Amino acid sequence: TDSNYAAQYRLPGTFAPVADYGLLSAAAEAAAGLGIRAAVGNVLSSDVFYGDDPDALKQWRKMGVLAVEMEAAALYMNAARCGKKALCILTVSDCPLTGESLPAKERETGFNDMIRIALAIA
């Protein structure tokens, strides 16, 4: 993350928030069982979705980051702080590297698939 969200916890170092492995594994299995194509990997939680530095996203991509979003790190930090499990399930709708966007119908299908996975593991 490039967010300063963790500063509120006054930790003596840098915290790398992650998904609960049990939830992640269950979601991956559910997606496969539902015939939904899914990718599992790191995402960048950013305070800005469209930044001014065009090379920044390329640098994150070199580190294996699959997507950019704005909430997962905070969700995982809050869960860790409260001793709870958390999982962020995302649908990719736009690519800031290429400027491509999904058409409305495909975006809707992607959101529905994401919801089906979440309901399957609830």
Q: How does residue 44 score in pLDDT terms, banded at 50, 70 and 90?
A: very high
CA distance linking residue 54 with residue 90, whole number of Å: 23
pLDDT tens-place string over residues 78-113: 999 999 999 999 998 888 777 888 888 888 787 999
pLDDT > 70 in the chain, percent: 100
Q: Pick the closest to residue 90 from 40, 49, 15 (CA basis).
A: 40
Catalytic-labelled residue, pool 2, 20, 47, 94: 94
How many residues can be counted in the chain? Answer: 122
CATH of the domain at 79: 3.40.50.1580
As separate numbers, helices (DSSP H) first and strands (DSSP E) second, the chain gives: 4, 4
CA 55, 38, 23, 111 torsion-angle sign: positive
- For the cut 90, the answer to whether the pLDDT of residue 53 exceeds it is no
Task: Name the DSSP letter for residue 69.
Answer: E
Give the pLDDT confidence score for residue 88 in this predicted structure.
Answer: 97
Q: Report the number of distinct structural domains present in the chain.
A: 1
Give the pLDDT confidence score for residue 51 in this predicted structure.
Answer: 78
Question: Which range (35-39, 41-45, 49-53) has the least confidence?
Answer: 49-53
Q: Is 94 a catalytic residue?
A: yes
Give the pLDDT confidence score for residue 20 in this predicted structure.
Answer: 98
Q: Which domain holds residue 106?
A: 5-121
